């Protein structure tokens, strides 16, 4: 099957600062990819370029058949195919959990209210929060809010899910409950690209690891590269992570 995400020589600059320096990688349907590297290596920027939250200066990005750098890109169609979960949960505080999940279904997909509510129930069950459907964000822990954010993305039935350091603001207990949900999604065959500092999770869940260093893909392979890194830079990164 053709790659569902394809980056070819992608360059991204913020003013004079070149953050991505010719980044290339392919992701196949059903792959779980861990994007790792030090802060400032370009991981999150690469993720944001895939979803057209940032525009690129050179190269090409193809996602689910959409040419992301094309000026004629149908952004709404891209966002239907690509879900994204951020470090901050971005839930609307004045809406309960069901309403947060139903909002995009109603506005973007024009799903009827009863059907949207059924979908909300279904995706909340997937993330283990069925009993919180009427709760408001302030009544939830950070881990629960992040699981609602994942459920909200799942409700749109994306072909690819992007996760940008979704556990970095959580304590270890809450981190493990969110990672468990993501591992379940991986087992279910969801194509996922995950920017993470959780190396144990990357070893367990990812079938491809991409190590970025100073704006470039420095090393790439199966999760075994975390046990036997081929470059001094990855070796040093992993030892500093321990």
Q: In the structure, what pLDDT confidence band is assigned to residue 168 with cuts at 50, 70 and 90?
A: confident
Q: In the structure, what pLDDT confidence band is assigned to residue 87 with cuts at 50, 70 and 90?
A: confident
Q: In the structure, what pLDDT confidence band is assigned to residue 172 with cuts at 50, 70 and 90?
A: confident
The single-letter DSSP state of residue 227 is T
Q: Convert the pLDDT of each residue in 129-161 to its tens digit.
A: 999 999 999 999 999 999 999 999 999 999 999
Q: How far apart are the first and last CA of the chain?
A: 37
Q: In the structure, what pLDDT confidence band is assigned to residue 2 with cuts at 50, 70 and 90?
A: confident
pTM of the model: 0.93
Fold topology of 5-241: Rossmann fold (3.40.50)
* Winning range, highest mean pLDDT, from 84-88, 113-117, 185-189, 201-205: 113-117
For range 61-76, the mean pLDDT: 94
Sequence ranges of the domains in the chain: 5-241
H or E, element range at 183: helix 172-187
Instruction: Compute the distance between CA of residue 42 and CA of residue 44 in angstroms, rounded to an integer.
Output: 6
DSSP string, 86-122: -SS----TTS-HHHHHHHHHHHTS---HHHHHHHHHH
What integer pLDDT is reported at residue 241 of this predicted model?
Answer: 62
Q: In the structure, what pLDDT confidence band is assigned to residue 71 with cuts at 50, 70 and 90?
A: very high
Q: Convert the pLDDT of each residue in 21-63 to its tens digit.
A: 999 999 999 999 999 999 999 999 999 999 999 999 999 999 9
């Amino acid at each position: 099957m053709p790659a569902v995400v394809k980056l070819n020589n992608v360059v991204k600059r913020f003013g004079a600062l070149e953050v991505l320096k010719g980044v290339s990688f392919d992701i196949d349907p059903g792959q779980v990819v861990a994007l790792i590297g030090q802060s400032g290596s370009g991981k999150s920027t690469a993720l944001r370029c895939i979803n057209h939250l940032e525009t690129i200066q050179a190269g090409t990005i193809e996602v689910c058949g959409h040419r992301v750098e094309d000026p004629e890109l149908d952004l709404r169609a891209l966002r239907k195919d690509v879900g994204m979960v951020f470090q901050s949960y971005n839930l609307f505080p004045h809406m309960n959990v069901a309403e947060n999940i139903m909002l995009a279904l109603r506005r973007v997909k024009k799903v009827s209210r009863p059907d949207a509510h059924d979908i909300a129930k279904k995706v909340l069950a997937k993330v283990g929060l069925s009993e919180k459907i009427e709760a408001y964000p302030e009544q939830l822990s950070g881990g629960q809010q992040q699981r609602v954010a994942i459920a909200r993305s799942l409700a749109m039935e994306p072909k690819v899910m992007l996760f940008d350091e979704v556990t970095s603001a959580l304590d270890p207990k809450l981190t493990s409950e969110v990672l468990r949900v993501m591992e379940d999604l991986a087992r279910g065959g969801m194509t996922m690209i995950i920017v993470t500092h959780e190396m144990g999770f990357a070893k367990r869940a990812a079938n491809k690891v991409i190590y970025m260093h100073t704006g470039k893909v420095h090393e790439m392979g199966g999760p075994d590269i975390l046990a036997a890194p081929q470059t001094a830079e990855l070796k040093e990164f992993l030892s500093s992570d321990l």
